Amino acid sequence: MTTSKKSAKKTSNPRPHIGNAFEVSLCTEVNQVCPNCSSALFISKGGKRWRNYEIAHIYPLNPTADEIELLKAEKRLSSDANHEDNLIPLCFPCHNIYDNPKTIAGYRDLVKKKEDIIKQRAQQNVFSQYHLETEISEIIESLCKEDAQFEESSLNEAKRVDEKLDGTITPFAKRKIKNNVTWFYLFIRERFADLERSEPGKAVLISHQVKTFYLKQKMLTTNQQEIFENTVKWINSKYSSASETAAEVIAAFYVQNCELFE
């Protein structure tokens, strides 16, 4: 006499309940627009705000056999499908396109976008941990004065920048840094000298703070383009009134002065 065995039915993983604060933070990370098509995640209708998105799982919450096979060699951002690193808001059409059918190209694209978000999140934590003396705002403000006069540096100083920059920084960024060194290095050096005379040790302290921030960046990435951009964002995060251009000039000064890059 034979006994029949019933095949066990696979239990699906339940979608997690995401609290409002968590959901808002995920939307904020993508600037409240769909990362795939830039559609607004919230729309106004009848005097009210309506959601125009769903929280998508980058690696499927309940992958089919075909999806498991398709993605078996692909990078996963978390072993937990419900972890925040595996979640991203997509507008309704893009979520449908992403899931039906799942493709390697679509998966890799979303992984890359989420990796960039994770990096930005980590940098925000670094920005908050590393202090920058408020007196650097005086240097930034002096750059923006209408009567500011800038003396051109020697060609040798710009050439020294070339020796510190490698292939991980774009030619455009390299040219911009060299131009900023050429036209603003001497001016900023004099402003820091003025600061040092009025408050002995202050300019030296600021240079040490920049150096310490750079060393932390080196622990996170070896890409000079990322390090330079993060330094500019860090300066801007401390002094929101500073323009990005002024922050780039300050960062270029520290490239020449050896606090950024060796």
Identify the pLDDT of residue 13. Answer: 74
Q: What is the pLDDT of residues 224-236, one digit of tens each?
A: 999 999 999 999 9
Identify the pLDDT of residue 130. Answer: 95
pLDDT in tens, the chain (262 residues): 444 444 444 567 777 677 889 999 999 999 999 999 999 999 998 889 999 999 999 999 999 999 999 999 999 999 999 999 999 999 999 999 999 999 999 999 999 999 999 999 999 999 999 999 999 988 988 888 877 778 777 656 666 788 889 999 999 999 999 999 999 999 999 999 999 999 999 999 999 999 999 999 999 999 999 999 999 999 998 887 668 899 999 999 999 888 888 7
CA distance 193 to 253: 14
In the structure encoding, which two tokens stand for residue 182, read together? 């050429």
CA distance 82 to 238: 34
In the structure encoding, which two tokens stand for residue 82, read together? 């419900």
Q: What is the pLDDT of residues 76-111, one digit of tens each?
A: 999 999 999 999 999 999 999 999 999 999 999 999
Identify the pLDDT of residue 7. Answer: 42
Which residue matches tokens 């937990």? 80
Identify the pLDDT of residue 163. Answer: 85
CA distance 151 to 148: 10
CA distance 77 to 216: 23
